[in-house]
Amino acid sequence: MEQNVFQVIWFVLWGVLWIGYFVLDGFDLGAGVLLPKLASNETERRIVYNAIGPFWDANEVWLITAGGATFAAFPKAYAIMFSGLYSALLLLLFCLIFRGVAIEFRGKQNDAGWRSKWDLVFVASSLVATLLLGVAFANIFRGLPIDEKGIIRGGLLYLLNPYGLLGGVFFVVMFAVHGALWVAYRSTGALYHRAKGWVLKLWPVEAVLAVLFLLVSFRSTSLWNNYFKHPFLFVFPIVAVVALILIPILVKRDSALWAWISSALFIVGAASWGLAGLFPNLLPSTLSPKNSLTVFNSSSSLLTLKVMTVVAFVFVPIMLCYKFWVYKTFSGKLTEETVYGEDAY
Amino acid sequence: MDVLLGSRLQFAVAAMFHFLFVPLTLGLSVLTAVFETLYLKTGDEDYKRAAKFWGKLFLINFALGVVTGITLEFQFGTNWRYYSEYVGDVFGSLLAIEATLAFFLESTFIAVWHFGWNRLSPKLHCLAIWLVALGSNVSALWILLANGWMQNPVGYVIRNGRAELESFWAVVTNSFGWMEFIHTVTGAFILSSFFVLGVSAYHLLKGNEVEFFKKSFRVAAVFALVFSLFEVFNGHLHGSEVAKVQPTKLAAMESLWETKKGAPMYLFIIPDEKNERNLVEIGKIPGFLSFLAYHDFSATVKGLKEFPKEDRPPVLLTFLSFRLMVGLGFLFVLLSTLAWLKRNEPEKSPWLLRILLLSIPLPYIACEMGWIVAEVGRQPWIVYGLMKTKDAVSPLAPSQVLISLVAFIVVYTALGIIDFWLLTKYAKKGPDRA
């Protein structure tokens, strides 16, 4: 019984880490996806890179921590999921390698050809990474063909089913809006107006995809079952819908920061909707419910869960404090002179 | 290619490549922090320029260290599924703690340092680089406690068909893990001070910014000597710990086939693995191996033949890597002593500067050899005495592993070349003008 409590706590913490990752690295990835549309010259490109400059690396640590937490709290799920999704996961990791290297190396050589090659690497790796994340989570919601030995009977191509692809495209558009809002928040002039324009252009697409994803999930997944059992959970999709509606209203009023916060809340609401629907599964099996990986059959021992809980409750708040301070200190408007200085990308 | 061999090669490629960048991160963060602190204390602009110059090289190196580290954390799951399932209850939490305590700190404050020169007070800016140094070294502690558990599993009980945590205290106080931590971090500090010595030597030979590089040289020479001496001492203790808990690894390190009371040490050996003997043994020092392992000239040291063939690690590779590492370790004591003696006027000893410049790669080789001893010497076990490597590998298709292995080699080679080229370019360029 006590173990069940900690298993549920860790499902929530696991979800929080993934949601933190989507909200934070989401705007980095989105800015990468939209770079060629947003920036029209070298100065503007530099502003986009520096808009995410002090943050992207630490944001990616949320992914590493989410991976580590899966390993620590649900080792069986980590083992089966990561080996079963081998090719997709390694492709994601290679994208993240290319992306990090592109950001760091682009400014290290004063040569337009060098920079434009790394720009291409940055955009392509951001796009593929985002798409893969969406495809992966849609497939987790939908379930994978896990057999009784815990082997996933389907490779990279299996993941590219219509529901998985819908999830991928939804993530790309959602992150692109999120990234454009962040760039708008940190820029002025032509770049600001272009970023704002792209938010308004992409928003209807985002809204249609969101509704479509919610509806198709009725047919393709069993996510909604929890909602009819526990109607209070409807708070998550409601938060998502309200936040989504607020985005264009706030953008038109030129409050880019609040619009970005709305977009962040939309991501929180949408991801919470999916994860709350998934519970108690971590990865459902489409072959037999007996083969599904749940928080109850995949977790660590009670002692490990307790140790990890103490670590999380002590160190995550500390981390949130210094991260908040860094965001406060480093997120002013960027101008031409700041991005050509010595302490810029 | 079979999945086991492919996965082992892939892990070796990923880990060894990652470790080309880790030691410089561990050590150069501390040295950069020392330079910036000296600037705060003395107000000497040269130390500020030193922090900027070495910090820039640090950043180029750090980028690849970070991105290649991510793949390692995920590879336990992708390629070593049964390992992750069997020991994840103990091992996984150490990785998660590493990320929570160290990675956030390191990645947040390196950005604060990089972007904060004009935004923060000098004291706060200096604190940022100290926090980076703290974060990266704390991360080393947790990952080495995790590796230490694979070398010497403690604090667990077999329950529910897996290894479950019984005492977290025993896992975090595992002396083997702490020994590895001390030995690895000391090695990283040696590598970093030789890096600073070598780059400084290049500029001193050319007569560039002589005053500036003399200051860097002096700090690095002290660092190099202190840590080279300490490494010999803690390396010896680490070796005696290996003798106690991993007798097969010790026997392979020394290519000792027969169990012997008062085991000698030979200066030169050519192992003959096939016939379970040494082809050549020259330079006998009686009882010395027993003494090194157990502090007793007449102690009994177990030979490889004491153990079934399938429980022995590859002897030649372990033996050669160990010898090379130890030989280099003593060379570092010699070189750093010379550097320390000449620390006030290094520009007057061009012969030493030339040697130091050529010595930059040597600590890298020593670090990699150390990991070969640790990991190859642990074979055939993935967790010593508890689980064999062959039982740990994921049920993958050979083609999957082959493709990813080739991808790792191609991508890492390309990135390694670009990174090396950038590091060389910025190292040669020297500091910005005052």
pLDDT tens-digit series, residues B19-62: 999 999 999 999 999 999 999 999 999 999 999 999 999 999 99
A96 → chain B, closest CA residue: B67
Task: Tell me the pLDDT tens digit for each residue of B165-203.
Answer: 999 999 999 999 999 999 999 999 999 999 999 999 999
Q: What average pLDDT does the structure give for chain A? A: 93
B70 touches chain A (CB under 8 A): yes
B341 touches chain A (CB under 8 A): no
B159 → chain A, closest CA residue: A301
B101 touches chain A (CB under 8 A): yes
- Averaged pLDDT, A8-22: 95
pLDDT at position B63, please? 87
Give me the residue from B88, B107, B395 closest to A58, CB to CB: B107
Contact A69 B97 (CB under 8 A): no
B112 → chain A, closest CA residue: A54
pLDDT at B249 over 70: yes
Give the separation between CA B24 and CA B224, rounded to whole angstroms. Answer: 13
Tell me the three state secondary structure of residue A282. strand
Least confident of A165-169, B7-11, B303-307: B303-307
Give the separation between CA B32 and CA A243, rounded to whole angstroms. Answer: 45
pLDDT classification of A139: cutoffs 50, 70, 90: very high
A332's CB contacts (< 8 A; 6+ apart) are A186
Q: B405: distance to nearest CA of chain A, Å?
A: 11
Residue tagged 């995809």 (tokens): A209
Look at the alpha carbons of A235, A210, A197, A326 in this order and tell me if their dihedral is positive or negative: positive
With beta carbons under 8 A apart, name residues in chain B contacting A125: none
Task: Tell me the pLDDT tens digit for each residue of B320-368.
Answer: 999 999 999 999 999 999 999 999 999 999 999 999 999 999 999 999 9
- Averaged pLDDT, B70-93: 94
- Averaged pLDDT, A30-54: 94
- Averaged pLDDT, A48-58: 92
Q: A58: distance to nearest CA of chain B, Å?
A: 5
pLDDT at position B434, please? 66
Residues 122-161 of B with CB under 8 A from A: 159-160
B143's CB contacts (< 8 A; 6+ apart) are B94, B95, B98
pLDDT at A253 over 90: yes
- Residue B284 has which token pair? 């006998």
pLDDT at B414 over 70: yes
A311 touches chain B (CB under 8 A): yes
A293 touches chain B (CB under 8 A): no
Percentage of the residues of chain A whose pLDDT score is greater than 90: 86
Q: A20: distance to nearest CA of chain B, Å?
A: 13
Amino acid in the structure at residue B181: F
Domain ranges of chain A: 2-214+278-339
Percentage of the residues of chain B whose pLDDT score is greater than 70: 100
CA A288 to chain centre: 29
* Strand-strand pairing, A293-294 and A281-283: antiparallel
pLDDT at position B1, please? 67
Task: Tell me the pLDDT tens digit for each residue of A281-340.
Answer: 999 999 999 999 999 999 999 999 999 999 999 999 999 999 999 999 998 888 888 888
pLDDT at B242 over 70: yes
Contact A301 B89 (CB under 8 A): yes
Q: B428: distance to nearest CA of chain A, Å?
A: 14
Task: Tell me the pLDDT tens digit for each residue of A177-196.
Answer: 999 999 999 999 999 999 99
- Averaged pLDDT, A86-96: 93
With beta carbons under 8 A apart, name residues in chain B contacting A319: 100, 104-105, 108
With beta carbons under 8 A apart, name residues in chain A contacting B60: 104, 108
How many Å from the N-terminal Cα to the C-terminal Cα in chain A?
52
